[in-house]
């Protein structure tokens, strides 16, 4: 009874779904916003106006919708949104959803925490719903996130809002061990949320994995995904995706690079930037300050900050994993009175997963690298974002501070800059970031440097961490691209080392190299163009002190970009003619293969180890050495002698071989005779046959045919004679005859 009922029910459901889709499509088509228009500029619909199909058969306008329910969305999505607590749309959602729902590509830019996630999750669900996507249709949507944590978070939002849809979704991120299980299932998933590396891994290694039907591609934090770090992976991914699809790119710092857009083959994308008119590039609820801190006081400042904000959730950004490890371990030992946590890329994924939710649960400090800078939503729980190390650039700053003051909540941020990095503050102000510089009273600082030295003495591991942190910090400053802000030579290195508690300043190879490089450049610098360019002067390189191969290789190691300006005073000119004009620097010599060089002569060693040309002994020594000619008669005579000698040797070898063969046969015969005497068996069997016989005897088969061996021998006279190998004695012949007779009788 149940079955027909449920079939009927399913049929009805399918019918209603088809009807719903038709209705939605008519609604979407009826009120499409003009391409390039900004829905935010339209007046909102009147309150309590009817939604959807109206009595006259027309549809309510949705371009100016303020609430999700005013949009042409499926019931399942609307219910999911309501269940997750979303009703009113944020600006980026209002501005982008009317465009994305009618199938347009979107380039969305909006401040951090402004709700970009729903701006792409909702149209993804709708697109697949209206396409009646099912499990057998395979991958319909790929959402790419730059970090694993953000991937996890997007997946959670997808699950929450899409709870009433029947799509299957999977989270594919690195660091998870269950790749094989993933491989089995990935072909049946409809929506993939993934990091670029893991997606490519599946594209390369999972059998039958491809997405020929892909409907939507989403890049969250698009500018990050499209930057150099992911370039190769993303290009490889895109090359495997169908071009006919809808594409959404979202970020707070959106890419406008034509090249990037061309890579993604966007079709007339809608560029939606809700904050272009805004006075600030960061949320207005965010209070931002900057403090100029000498590098050697940074730890004191950070410690003091934490000690004075024990009832907060503080996110501390540092420049490298090693910095994070050291500061976390050291502060943990100093017990500040607030739980400390850390998050960086070198941690195992099990540990990484869930750190951010733990962080949200209680007042604590989370030390992290930029792995936590993008997209993460700490449930509006972060009170303070402290950038203890200066960010790489303005975009990085915006994303870091964006971890606080999300959605409608407020937040605070503080940026530490060393005196040589103050240019960063100007750059931030130029990009519409309202940041206020504050001074800290030195007497309020709680110095920890003295304590650090004691800690390091007590814990050797911590000392190692401190050393590594010291070196990686300097390296990270040295590697920074923005040389206007970052200058490693301006840093008080010894003082910084002491502030970490290190007893001695560790040697920093690249810094030493820099000074060495300076010296080298001072010595080498000026060489006249004519001297450098003259091909007739191959020794030119050695004229310049310090231009040896070794120095070159060191220079290459990392500081080439950092070389000091190379022009120096004329007193440093070496080996140049006074009259020569001051010109340019020697470039690194290129190794060239000269194809016209003379071909080398072959050296042959004779038996005594003398180097003589072949047959030189036979050369006519009277002739001059250059034109060594061979006496033909002597050569042929020599060959005749050699042939004779070889013939003699050959005869001797054959005689010897014959002798050996005879001896072998004699031994075999003796052996056979012995065994015949023992077993009273027939004669003429080799050892192998004997063993075969033994085997057969064991199996009870002794009725064996006699084998007769022939041998080709005695080739000396050129004719092969065939002869009986073994002469049969008279007695043996009699025995044989008797046997034959008896077998005939029986
Ligand atoms: P972004 O990606 O722009 O940084 P998110 O999508 O992570 O921002 O959203 C930030 C916060 O705002 C999240 O906690 C999210 O739940 C909340 N949020 C987003 N849209 C809405 C909405 N329409 N109504 C209420 N809260 C929202
Ligand atoms: Mg986001």
Q: Which of 117, 403, 405 to mutate to test the pocket of ligand 1 (most atoms within 8 A of CB)?
A: 117
What is the position in ligand 1's atom list of the atom closest to the CA of 88?
23
For residue 230, what pLDDT is reported? 94
For residue 698, what pLDDT is reported? 37
Q: Which of 407, 408, 409, 410 to mutate to test the pocket of ligand 1 (most atoms within 8 A of CB)?
A: 407
Residue, of 578 and 659, whose pLDDT is higher: 659
What is the position in ligand 1's atom list of the atom closest to the CA of 377?
7
Of the listed ranges 30-34, 516-520, 540-544, the least confidently predicted one is 540-544
Render pLDDT for 330-388 as a digit per residue (tens, 0 to 9): 999 999 999 999 999 988 888 887 787 788 888 999 999 999 999 999 887 899 999 99
For residue 518, what pLDDT is reported? 52
Look at ligand 1, atom 2, and give the residue with the nearest C-alpha: 116
Taking the centre of ligand 2 as the mean of its atom positions, its distance from the CA of residue 375, in whole angstroms, is 4
Look at ligand 1, atom 5, and give the residue with the nearest C-alpha: 115
DSSP category for residue 718: S
Between CA 209 and CA 278 the distance in angstroms is: 44
What is the position in ligand 1's atom list of the atom closest to the CA of 375?
4
| DSSP sequence for 484-550 | TT--GGGS-HHHHHHHTT-SSPPP-HHHHHHHHHHHHHHHH-EE-HHHHH-TT-TTHHHHSTT-SHH
Taking the centre of ligand 1 as the mean of its atom positions, its distance from the CA of residue 484, in whole angstroms, is 36
The SS3 call for residue 314 is: strand
Residue, of 10 and 246, whose pLDDT is higher: 246
Between CA 299 and CA 305 the distance in angstroms is: 10
pLDDT-derived band at 626 (thresholds 50, 70, 90) equals very low
**Burial (CB count within 10 angstroms: exposed 0-12, middle 13-18, buried 19+), residue 531:** middle
For residue 450, what pLDDT is reported? 81
Domain ranges in the chain are 2-273, 286-478, 518-618
Between CA 270 and CA 96 the distance in angstroms is: 8
Find which of 91-100, 433-442, 525-534 is predicted with most confidence, using mean pLDDT. 91-100
Taking the centre of ligand 1 as the mean of its atom positions, its distance from the CA of residue 712, in whole angstroms, is 98
Q: Which of 96, 113, 155, 252 to mutate to test the pocket of ligand 1 (most atoms within 8 A of CB)?
A: 113
Taking the centre of ligand 1 as the mean of its atom positions, its distance from the CA of residue 353, in whole angstroms, is 21
Taking the centre of ligand 2 as the mean of its atom positions, its distance from the CA of residue 642, in whole angstroms, is 90
What is the position in ligand 1's atom list of the atom closest to the CA of 84?
16
Do 286-478 and 2-273 fall under one CATH topology?
Answer: yes
Residue 564 has pLDDT above 50, yes or no: no
Taking the centre of ligand 2 as the mean of its atom positions, its distance from the CA of residue 469, in whole angstroms, is 31
What is the position in ligand 1's atom list of the atom closest to the CA of 407?
12
Taking the centre of ligand 2 as the mean of its atom positions, its distance from the CA of residue 145, in whole angstroms, is 9
Render pLDDT for 282-300 as a digit per residue (tens, 0 to 9): 999 999 999 999 999 999 9
379 — alpha (psi -120 to 50), left (phi > 0) or beta?
left
Ligand nearest to the CA of 147: 2
Average pLDDT for 17-22: 93
What is the position in ligand 1's atom list of the atom closest to the CA of 153?
7
Of the listed ranges 82-86, 177-181, 565-569, the least confidently predicted one is 565-569
Residue 155 has pLDDT above 70, yes or no: yes
Nearest to 312 by CA among 382, 374, 379: 382
Taking the centre of ligand 1 as the mean of its atom positions, its distance from the CA of residue 148, in whole angstroms, is 19
pLDDT-derived band at 685 (thresholds 50, 70, 90) equals very low
Tokens coding 452: 């650090």
Between CA 504 and CA 465 the distance in angstroms is: 14
Q: What are φ and ψ of residue 685, in 5° steps?
A: -110, 140
Taking the centre of ligand 2 as the mean of its atom positions, its distance from the CA of residue 221, in whole angstroms, is 7
What is the position in ligand 1's atom list of the atom closest to the CA of 408?
12
pLDDT-derived band at 723 (thresholds 50, 70, 90) equals very low
Give the C-alpha distances (Å, rounded to integers) separating 463 from 446, 469, 509.
Answer: 21, 10, 19
Look at ligand 1, atom 25, and give the residue with the nearest C-alpha: 86
What is the position in ligand 1's atom list of the atom closest to the CA of 111?
3
Taking the centre of ligand 1 as the mean of its atom positions, its distance from the CA of residue 364, in whole angstroms, is 23
Of the listed ranges 149-163, 263-277, 522-536, 647-661, the least confidently predicted one is 522-536
Average pLDDT for 625-635: 59
Which residues does ligand 1 sit against, CB inside 6 Å?
86, 88-90, 93, 110, 112-118, 375, 377, 380, 406-407
pLDDT-derived band at 676 (thresholds 50, 70, 90) equals low
For residue 714, what pLDDT is reported? 34
For residue 368, what pLDDT is reported? 96
CATH H-level superfamily of 2-273: P-loop containing nucleotide triphosphate hydrolases (3.40.50.300)
Average pLDDT for 238-256: 92
Average pLDDT for 662-668: 86
pLDDT-derived band at 695 (thresholds 50, 70, 90) equals very low
For residue 696, what pLDDT is reported? 33
The SS3 call for residue 428 is: helix
Contact 168, 217 (CB under 8 A): no
Between CA 153 and CA 1 the distance in angstroms is: 44
Ligand nearest to the CA of 108: 1
Residues 6+ apart with CB under 8 A from 734: none
Residue, of 121 and 563, whose pLDDT is higher: 121
Ligand nearest to the CA of 118: 1
Residues 6+ apart with CB under 8 A from 147: 195, 371, 372, 374, 375, 376
Q: Which of 85, 94, 115 to mutate to test the pocket of ligand 1 (most atoms within 8 A of CB)?
A: 115
Residue, of 594 and 464, whose pLDDT is higher: 464
Residue 27 has pLDDT above 70, yes or no: yes
Taking the centre of ligand 2 as the mean of its atom positions, its distance from the CA of residue 112, in whole angstroms, is 7
Ligand nearest to the CA of 221: 2
Average pLDDT for 266-284: 89
Ligand nearest to the CA of 86: 1
Look at ligand 1, atom 12, and give the residue with the nearest C-alpha: 407
Between CA 414 and CA 247 the distance in angstroms is: 36
Look at ligand 1, atom 14, and give the residue with the nearest C-alpha: 379
Residue, of 606 and 51, whose pLDDT is higher: 51
Taking the centre of ligand 1 as the mean of its atom positions, its distance from the CA of residue 145, in whole angstroms, is 16
For residue 428, what pLDDT is reported? 97
Ligand nearest to the CA of 115: 1
Residue 102 has pLDDT above 50, yes or no: yes
What is the position in ligand 1's atom list of the atom closest to the CA of 110?
3
Average pLDDT for 598-602: 50
Taking the centre of ligand 1 as the mean of its atom positions, its distance from the CA of residue 80, in whole angstroms, is 15
Average pLDDT for 255-281: 85
What is the position in ligand 1's atom list of the atom closest to the CA of 250?
2
Taking the centre of ligand 1 as the mean of its atom positions, its distance from the CA of residue 24, in whole angstroms, is 25
Taking the centre of ligand 2 as the mean of its atom positions, its distance from the CA of residue 111, in whole angstroms, is 9
Taking the centre of ligand 1 as the mean of its atom positions, its distance from the CA of residue 407, in whole angstroms, is 6
Ligand nearest to the CA of 89: 1
For residue 443, what pLDDT is reported? 80
Ligand nearest to the CA of 109: 1
Look at ligand 1, atom 23, and give the residue with the nearest C-alpha: 89
Between CA 555 and CA 560 the distance in angstroms is: 6
CATH of segment(s) 286-478: 3.40.50.300
Give the C-alpha distances (Å, rounded to integers) separating 36 from 45, 504, 584.
Answer: 20, 62, 54
Look at ligand 1, atom 16, and give the residue with the nearest C-alpha: 115
Ligand nearest to the CA of 113: 1
Of the listed ranges 238-247, 264-273, 381-390, 679-688, the least confidently predicted one is 679-688
What is the position in ligand 1's atom list of the atom closest to the CA of 117?
6
Render pLDDT for 447-504 as a digit per residue (tens, 0 to 9): 897 899 999 999 999 999 999 999 999 999 999 999 999 999 999 999 999 999 999 9
Look at ligand 1, atom 20, and give the residue with the nearest C-alpha: 115
Mean pLDDT, the chain, integer: 79
């Amino acid at each position: 009874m149940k079955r027909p009922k449920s079939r009927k029910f399913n049929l009805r459901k399918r019918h209603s779904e088809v009807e719903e889709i038709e209705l939605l499509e008519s609604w979407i088509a009826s009120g499409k916003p003009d391409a390039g228009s900004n829905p935010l500029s339209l007046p909102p619909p009147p309150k309590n106006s009817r939604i959807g199909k109206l009595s006259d058969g027309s549809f309510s306008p949705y371009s100016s919708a303020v609430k999700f329910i005013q949009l042409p969305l499926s019931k399942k999505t609307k219910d999911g949104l309501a269940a997750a607590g979303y009703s009113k749309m944020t600006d980026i959602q209002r501005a982008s959803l009317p465009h994305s729902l009618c199938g347009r590509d979107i380039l969305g830019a909006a401040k951090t925490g402004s709700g970009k996630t729903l701006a792409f999750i909702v149209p993804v669900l709708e697109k697949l719903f209206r396409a009646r996507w099912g499990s057998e249709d395979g991958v319909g949507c790929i959402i790419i996130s730059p970090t694993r944590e953000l991937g996890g978070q997007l997946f959670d939002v997808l699950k929450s809002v899409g709870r009433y849809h029947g799509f299957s979704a999977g989270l594919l991120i690195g660091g998870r061990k269950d790749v094989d299980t993933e491989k089995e299932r990935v072909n049946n998933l409809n929506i993939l949320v993934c990091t670029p590396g893991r997606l490519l891994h599946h594209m390369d290694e999972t059998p039958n994995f491809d997405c020929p039907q892909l409907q939507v591609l989403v890049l969250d934090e698009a500018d990050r995904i499209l930057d150099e770090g992911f370039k190769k992976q993303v290009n490889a991914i895109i090359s495997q995706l169908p071009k006919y699809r809808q594409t959404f790119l979202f970020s707070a710092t959106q890419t406008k690079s034509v090249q990037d857009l061309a890579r993604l083959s966007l079709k007339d994308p809608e560029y939606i930037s809700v904050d272009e008119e805004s006075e600030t590039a960061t949320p207005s609820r965010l209070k931002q300050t900057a403090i100029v801190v000498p590098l050697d006081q940074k730890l004191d400042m950070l410690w003091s900050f934490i000690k004075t904000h024990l009832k907060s959730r503080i996110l501390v950004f540092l420049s490298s994993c090693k910095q994070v490890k050291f500061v976390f371990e050291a502060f943990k030992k100093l017990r500040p009175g607030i739980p400390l946590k850390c998050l960086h890329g070198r941690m195992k994924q099990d540990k990484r997963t869930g750190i951010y939710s733990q962080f949200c649960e209680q007042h604590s400090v989370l030390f992290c690298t930029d792995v936590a800078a993008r997209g993460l939503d700490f449930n509006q729980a972060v009170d303070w974002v402290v950038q203890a190390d200066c960010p790489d650039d303005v975009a990085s700053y915006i994303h870091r501070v964006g971890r606080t003051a999300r959605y409608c909540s407020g937040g605070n941020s503080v940026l530490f800059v060393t005196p040589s990095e103050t240019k960063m503050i100007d750059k931030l102000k130029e990009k519409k970031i309202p940041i206020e510089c504050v001074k800290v009273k030195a007497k309020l600082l709680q110095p920890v440097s003295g304590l650090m030295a004691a800690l390091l003495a007590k814990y050797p591991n911590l000392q190692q961490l401190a050393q590594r942190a010291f070196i990686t910090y300097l390296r990270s400053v040295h590697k920074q691209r923005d040389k206007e802000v970052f200058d490693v030579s301006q840093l008080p290195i010894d003082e910084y080392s002491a502030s970490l508690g290190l007893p001695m300043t560790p040697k920093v190879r690249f810094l030493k190299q820099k000074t060495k490089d300076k010296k080298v450049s001072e010595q080498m610098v000026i060489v006249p163009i004519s001297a450098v360019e003259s091909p007739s002067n191959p020794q030119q390189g050695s004229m310049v002190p310090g231009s040896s191969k070794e120095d070159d290789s060191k220079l290459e190691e990392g500081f080439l970009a950092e070389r000091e300006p190379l022009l120096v005073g004329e007193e440093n000119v070496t080996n140049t003619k006074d009259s020569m004009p001051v010109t340019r620097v020697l470039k690194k010599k290129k190794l060239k293969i000269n194809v016209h060089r003379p071909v080398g002569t072959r050296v042959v060693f004779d038996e005594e180890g003398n180097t003589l040309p072949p047959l030189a002994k036979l050369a006519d020594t009277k002739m001059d050495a250059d034109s060594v000619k061979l006496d033909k008669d002597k050569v042929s005579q020599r060959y005749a002698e050699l042939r004779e000698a070889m013939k003699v040797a050959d005869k001797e070898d054959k005689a010897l071989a014959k002798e050996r063969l005879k001896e072998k046969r004699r031994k075999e015969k003796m052996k056979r005779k012995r065994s015949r005497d023992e077993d009273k068996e027939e004669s003429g069997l080799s050892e192998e046959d004997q063993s075969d016989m033994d085997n057969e005897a064991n199996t009870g088969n002794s009725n064996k045919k006699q084998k007769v061996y022939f041998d080709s021998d005695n080739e000396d006279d050129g004719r092969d004679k065939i002869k009986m190998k073994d002469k049969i004695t008279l007695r043996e012949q009699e025995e044989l005859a008797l046997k034959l007779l008896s077998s005939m009788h029986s």
